[in-house]
Amino acid sequence: MKRYLMTSVFLFFVSLAFSEELNPSQQKLFDEIFEFLKSEGYSPSVDSDGDIKFKASSRVYYINVAAVNDHPMYICMAAYYEYSENFTKENILAVMPDMSRKKFLKVWCHDKSYSIRAEIFLTNSYHFTAIFDKVLSYFSLFSSNLSELISEL
């Protein structure tokens, strides 16, 4: 009985950690980021996963506010890219150690695509608005650096 109770309690907390429901402070952050993007002219929308989706410089970005972190809160801003002739999973993995050591952004390889991500911990939307333009410029710089390293292979 004790084992059953402990297992039930454990599963309850695991389900809370992975629930898609945002608490009020996370929802406020989500709403404020959405409104900030709207006020900056990015025309954000909410995709089927509940992420904020917007376009900048002909690239689609996604922002996810994680439901598991409360204070500070965790957001992930990501852009997805299809593999191509030079940008194969193998080539990206070959240069990833160098890119990951030096850069704020990280590359994640998936089955049919890769993503570039900024993972940010913050306590309110002011922090996001203060760094947004810089983070967005890092995506472009990171892509250029990635291209250079892959061309050197």
Task: Please count the CA atoms within 13 angstroms of the CA of 28 that sit on its side-chain side.
Answer: 10
Q: How far is CA 134 from CA 11, 35, 66, 142, in A?
A: 40, 19, 22, 12
Q: How many CB atoms lie within 10 A of CB 23?
A: 12
pTM of the model: 0.80
Summarised one tens digit per residue, pLDDT across range 31-65 is 999 999 999 999 999 999 899 999 999 999 999 99
pLDDT tens for each residue of 79-129: 999 998 888 999 998 988 877 666 778 888 999 999 999 999 998 999 999
How far apart, in whole angstroms, are the C-alpha atoms of residue 56 and residue 35? Answer: 16
For 36-92, the DSSP string reads HHHHTT---EE-TTS-EEEEETTEEEEEEE-SS--SSEEEEEEEEEE--SSS-HHHH
Q: Which two tokens stand for residue 152?
A: 């050197």
| 8 Å CB contact between 6 and 54 | no
Longest dimension (CA), the chain: 62
